[in-house]
Structure 1
Amino acid sequence: MPVDAHRLSGVRSITGRLVEELLSRPGGQSRPLPIAVALGVRGSGKSALLEELRTRCEDIPHALVDFERRDWEQIQPRELLGHLAFDLGRQWRQFGRIAFPRLWLCMLVLSAPVETGDRRVALRKLRDLIAENQPLERNRDAIVDVVKLVGGVTSGNNLPGWNEATDLLLRGLSWYDRRRLMGKVKAMPTGHGNHQDFLIEIAKHAHGDEEDRAAVDAIICDAFLADLRRAYSGISGSRRTLNCLVLLDNAHTKGGQDFLRALAESRRHTPDEADPLVVVATSRTWNPDWGESWSMVTAHPGSDREIRRNPEHRTSGLDWPVPRQPAHVETDWIPGQPDNRWTPWYLLELGTLSSGDVVDIAAAHDVHPTSRLPRFLTRLTDGHPGAVQEVLQTLAVRYEPANPNTLRESLYTKVTAADGGESTLLAEMCDYLLQDFSTASRQELVTASAAVDVEMLFHKEILDLRNPMGEGPLFKQLADQLWLRADPDDPSRYVLHPWLRRLLLRKLASRSDDHPLNWEKVHTRCRDFYEKNGRVAAARYHDLALENVDAVVTHLCKPLSAPHAEFDVPTAEAWLAELDTITAAPNRLVENADPYTQVQHHVGEWEGELETTVAWLVVSLWLARDPLGDPGGTLNATIESGFHHLAQGRGRGSMLLHERAERYR
């Protein structure tokens, strides 16, 4: 593998340490390997990761498949195995050519119009089939390999004879044991020596019910892996110093899931026969099969199992199936640990770039590391890789360091939409992320984005959900497509992915005044709901979204002005927690207005000094916490001054207010 290959930001541990570990062959031997799966929402860099791996491994046997291209979403495992064998069986420098005699014989039988109702006719047709197909693997080298394996016995045209070919097919395969075959395919011949009958049964059951078809796929996968094991054994296999690699993009499709299931099933039935195949797949949805080996997981949000277990409060108390992060690779693959500790799956979650990663990406666009732009991108996108790249390409040529507000103005500039109309970059990016949702579901998500967490999806009287199946399917789709995150302040609750929610809120803000669920109406309903249920801070959150600064200031002034009540450390902690909750409220403020001018407009007039200070602090924080509200940080001095002013004479709790002020120095 080239040592100077470019490596994507945020996944260096995958393109480096992980792939090298999986491809290695300690002592020249195969060992149990997991199927590595990179999970992530749309735009999280999954396809780019596989392309990078393909480039790094261009000199070893490899194959790259995208299940969303070439109409492969519904491809059967047996068909895919043929495509993989074709790519892996090419001539590879040091590695030579890998032959797949067992697989091709199975494929030949499956593709033939075999008469399964008459055994004698079927046998005659199969004999003719092998004699007529020259060469069996469409390359001379593989046919010679087959002939050598059967001891040179042939029957015309240098092709292996019928009995010898079927002996070859069965000899090295794990499914030679007829008793185990009985558990795979119903009514499979159990007597020894019935090789022809065995092939006929494969052809017959390949067109049976779902269980039979899955069993045949597993058998053919056995043949594929057996051919690989043979290719990496003996003298010819000694020069193959690295495993071969299969890259499966968009494996969340039916074709992808069926293939991964067949591969895992085949490996499960041969625990003592390791193969030299490394599989790295990507998926943007959760696969229920993974829950079997990630036993620490009880259920993921939205699963039927979880809803049955906890019907009263379906978004709390969940054990989220947390895949590993790229940063965990180094410690997960420490030499000396058992090689099979991740079998059969090793799940990695992509989609969150660190601030350092964003700096690296910005540097490629000639953006200085100390520039305000990388920090702005991290806050705006929550490190979503696709968003960072898309926004950076737009801002890198328009950003004016002397005028930070150009960061905001560029994103609101009208662009030509896909339908020929006008839109904004943010709106276009939102449509891209939501393309897996129906039109009705998109509108419901826009409405639901107003709420603090996704619990609101279960209150149809507030959001007027139009889904005839109820709120469950939409919640489950969000969970399965990885758009839910545990609330950092309350891990028992789940919220929308911050970047998706930010985009949805922009669409909510753009709804017209006569829309039945516009910004005002939805936030009012949410506020009243939380007020009724005693969640006062959440209610004030929506008040601030409604620009009702008076209600927020009145509420926050109570602990600061209560007579004979000490503002001690616990009180200060609780007050700051409420301040953080409330000022995280979304806004629909004027896009091109100066931040300080907007603060002046919304603060209003107050008689008391305390109320005035709190009002300035609340509104300034409200804008500053929105990446698009004050990208230049012009309000930091106002916020710092506000905290210091409130701390004067507040008792022991004032220490926490002074500490918070230092963040904005």
Structure 2
Amino acid sequence: MTAPFGPAPTADSQIPEVYARQPVLHRLVPRMVGLDRDRHRRRAHHEFADDLPVVLLSGRHGTGKSAMLDDLQQAYAPETGTWPGPRVPFARINCTELQEQARVGPEMSNNSYAVEMLVELIAQLSRPVAGFGGLRFPRTTAGLLAVVSARRPGHDGELRVADRHAATLMGVPPDTRPRPTWDTLFRPALPAPPDGGSPDPAAFPEAAVRTFLGGQRRRHSPGLASRQLVGWYETYRSEADNRLRGLPPGASGQPRPVPAAERAPAVARMCQEFHQGRGFRRGVERMLTAAFLEDVRYGRLRRANRTPRPLVLLDNVHTDAGRDFLELLLEQRARADGARDRMVVIATELHGDDTPDARGDGPAGEDAPYPQAARRSLHDMGTDSGWTRHGTAPSAGVLLLPLPPLECEHLERMLRRDDRASFDPYIANAVHDLTGGHPMGARRLCEAVVDRSRTEEWVAAEELLDLAHSSRAGESVVWGLLDTLVGSEYHDELCLFSLAWDREAAEQLAERWVPRRMDGLPAADGAAAQLERERWSRGPGSRPFITDRFLRALLVHQMRSGRGGQGVDWSGAHALLADHHRQRAESRSGRSARDEWSRFLWHRLAAGQAPEVVDRLHAEFLRHDGDAVDWLHVLRTVAHAPRPPGNIWFEQCQEVARGRRDLLQLRADPGTGLEKQAVNRLLHALWYAADELAEADRHLVDRIGQDLSFLSAQHLTGRAVLAQAAIRWPRAVKDGEDWPLDHRWQGEGPRTGGAA
């Protein structure tokens, strides 16, 4: 066949979420598929000629995973344009939607997530492709018809599953009305009961398979006949027995040919195995997956099956349905022994923010479901991925591509879209610090800045979280982001829980202010389950309670501005939590007590009680048995407290940090010494530097180093530790990195001051 000429449809404009994603979209995928994005021209070079990995795009909510699949769909299966329709055998499945709509479970003996996925893949991949023909799935269709046709009398759910899947597998167009049922398609093949009663349900699978095999023989006699189809299943069972016995493939010889009268029962018998559930069902699912991959490899139109390669896009494979199918697919590919399918699979999974949090003590990341996956960066995909399968484990067939955050330069480009815009030059850095390069968050905030700057003379970084969209009826940009990321149903509860350090603290807040249940559970438990499910936290031991920094910053600001936690006062919530951590600290010892005191002071500072916090930090500094590393740990934790309500904080905190209020402090407390003044300046400087919207200029950074250097000379035992911090913390603040702290500093010679 000759491919039609002409340019392929492309997106009208650059999608902001796919900045820095071009090596995958414009280079890797075309090399894998074997067809250019912009022209109907086959590529001479196929990457992964003998073995194809599952390309897994991993990222957080809003990092552009679905936008990348949208881009690929527009390139290879556009709905409009010069040549609408798939340019390659194409399928796209959202595993979350499939899981929500599927009727599966122990009570459904004729359905599972694997069956749902395979039926949907067959329906989409079977669509004709202009210039290349279409794919056919005779082996898989026969096996699936056997499985879905089983149903127990009076079980309406199983009947609906059989009706829905049977019509799809028999190629009935989805818009056909009335839609044929299982009975209208297959009842004529049922043997007539001798007593004139209802047919035996045990005969349903065989009737469906017999009808399908008969249609195959009549319509496609030059192709794969029923004898070859049934022979494949018999060969598969024989090879499976060989593996169990430890024999090599083919050791038991070829299975005997199946007579025509026994072919339908031979395929239909897998229905009984599927009906038994557990390991028996999993064995049938493996057989069906192997049949599917064999159909992809050796379809009726072999050239269409190989050039261009079929493209399958799977969204949200972190769900049960997605992970279940990927497990089956990877298992079969690991066993292929050179007989590889030619299907390109691009999948996305939701992953949490696995950046270690310097203020928390939770785990550094999530358990990897694909331990032997090859991990690459996106920019490595430009010319050649360099991927080859290493190892025999199924997960070795995964090429994992974590989606990187956007760089500050990407944000500057978004902000420069309007030459008339006038805003704080630091605002791009503020957006980047706040979002951590989160694509959707960065785009929404940059849009709000540009929108506001068209009507205002100046947009300051401090105003960033209070901006609204004039084009969206004045909607708060923070509200819009939260509605997209976590929904609005439990907005107030999540805002309140964003102040909690752990589950116990959240339970204290819930006991006082949240009487209703969340998802049928007590409020704190329901919130924890939702956050873990959506990868906003890292499980029961998450500290803080919401570990994703960007989401936590948005929720905390809603609380601070009075738009979240309805009926709960900012100071009152922090007072309750401070008392909670004080009581826990008094009942503990060692580092556990230290951590609780840190959280107590964190809440007191957030409530605006800076003098109290300075008093406690100064008292700890003067202890003759005090540990400088512990003191810096407490200081670092406390300094990351959220600022209290009101924009006046930005000016006041800077004035204290720069020493402009030393005289006021001395007048209020005539006994204040130089050490206490240094502690006061240092705390406020670090507090200001830790805020996402505040810019720590060079003078402030230098002041942090000077105060730490001064305190190093005053500490009785921790001179070396504080001297190292005086060098490294200002550098980390300037570079926007976490402030380092290392017990080994105690053994290093100080660069300022004397010996410890």
TM-score for the superposition, normalised by structure 1: 0.71
Q: Mind listing any 5+ residue stretches in structure 2 that lack a counterpart?
A: 1-6, 35-43, 78-86, 104-112, 150-165, 167-181, 191-198, 245-254, 587-592, 714-718, 736-756
Report deviation, 1:247. 0.2
The question of 1:538 aligning with 2:581 is answered no
Q: Are the structure 2 counterparts of residues 99 and 562 from structure 1 closer, same or farther at C-alpha, using a change threshold of 3 Å?
A: closer
* Partners of 1:123 and 1:635 in 2: CA distance: 78
Contact persistence 1:38–1:348 (CA under 8 A): yes
* Partners of 2:48 and 2:568 in 1: CA distance: 70
Q: Are the structure 2 counterparts of residues 210 and 473 from structure 1 closer, same or farther at C-alpha, using a change threshold of 3 Å?
A: farther
* Partners of 2:677 and 2:317 in 1: CA distance: 57
Partner of 2:140: 103
Q: Are the structure 2 counterparts of residues 399 and 210 from structure 1 closer, same or farther at C-alpha, using a change threshold of 3 Å?
A: farther
2:651 corresponds to which of 582, 596, 602: 596
Contact persistence 2:23–2:379 (CA under 8 A): yes
Contact persistence 1:62–1:244 (CA under 8 A): yes
Structure 1 residues 106-185: aligned runs within 5 Å: 106=143, 110=149, 111=166, 112-113=182-183, 117=200, 127=210, 131=214, 146-150=220-224, 165-172=225-232, 176-178=236-238, 180=240
Partner of 2:247: none
Report deviation, 1:501. 1.0
Deviations 1:494-532 (A, max 9, x none): 861001111222243334666699433343235414643
Partner of 1:260: 326
The question of 1:87 aligning with 2:124 is answered yes
Contact persistence 2:236–2:287 (CA under 8 A): no
SS in 1 for 2:313: strand
Aligned residue type for 1:430: L
Provide the identity percentage: 19
Report deviation, 1:249. 1.7
Partner of 2:498: 449
* Partners of 1:531 and 1:10 in 2: CA distance: 47
Q: Which has the higher contact order (CA 8 A, sep 6+)?
A: 1
Report deviation, 1:55. 3.7
* Partners of 2:234 and 2:544 in 1: CA distance: 47
Partner of 1:327: 377
2:347 corresponds to which of 264, 278, 281: 281
Contact persistence 2:682–2:708 (CA under 8 A): no
SS in 2 for 1:496: coil
Contact persistence 1:512–1:518 (CA under 8 A): no
1:353 corresponds to which of 386, 406, 424: 406
Contact persistence 1:599–1:616 (CA under 8 A): no
Structure 1 residues 2-151: aligned runs within 5 Å: 8-15=18-25, 18-19=28-29, 22-23=32-33, 31-58=50-77, 59-68=87-96, 73-74=101-102, 76-92=113-129, 95-106=132-143, 110=149, 111=166, 112-113=182-183, 117=200, 127=210, 131=214, 146-150=220-224
Contact persistence 2:415–2:446 (CA under 8 A): yes
Partner of 1:625: 690
SS in 1 for 2:269: helix
Q: How many residues align?
A: 592
Partner of 1:406: 460
The question of 1:483 aligning with 2:527 is answered no
Partner of 1:153: none
Contact persistence 1:102–1:169 (CA under 8 A): yes
Deviations 1:593-631 (A, max 9, x none): 472146569966334463445434423432342223x3x
Contact persistence 1:249–1:281 (CA under 8 A): yes
Report deviation, 1:578. 4.0
Partner of 2:486: 434
Aligned residue type for 1:147: S
* Partners of 2:121 and 2:618 in 1: CA distance: 68
Partner of 1:291: none
SS in 1 for 2:556: helix
* Partners of 2:425 and 2:288 in 1: CA distance: 56
Q: CA RMSD in A?
A: 5.2
Contact persistence 2:452–2:467 (CA under 8 A): no
TM-score for the superposition, normalised by structure 2: 0.63
* Partners of 2:543 and 2:434 in 1: CA distance: 25
Partner of 2:193: none
Deviations 1:20-78 (A, max 9, x none): 56547988986343433333333221110211233444543322223455896427543
* Partners of 1:202 and 1:549 in 2: CA distance: 71
Structure 1 residues 231-242: aligned runs within 5 Å: 231=299, 236=303, 240-242=306-308
Partner of 2:552: 501
Contact persistence 1:483–1:497 (CA under 8 A): yes
Contact persistence 2:643–2:649 (CA under 8 A): no
Contact persistence 1:380–1:499 (CA under 8 A): yes
Partner of 1:309: none
Aligned residue type for 2:347: A
Report deviation, 1:387. 0.8
The question of 1:196 aligning with 2:264 is answered yes
The question of 1:383 aligning with 2:437 is answered yes
| Higher alpha-carbon deviation: 457-466 or 268-277 | 457-466
Aligned residue type for 1:657: A
* Partners of 1:594 and 1:125 in 2: CA distance: 74
* Partners of 2:235 and 2:611 in 1: CA distance: 75
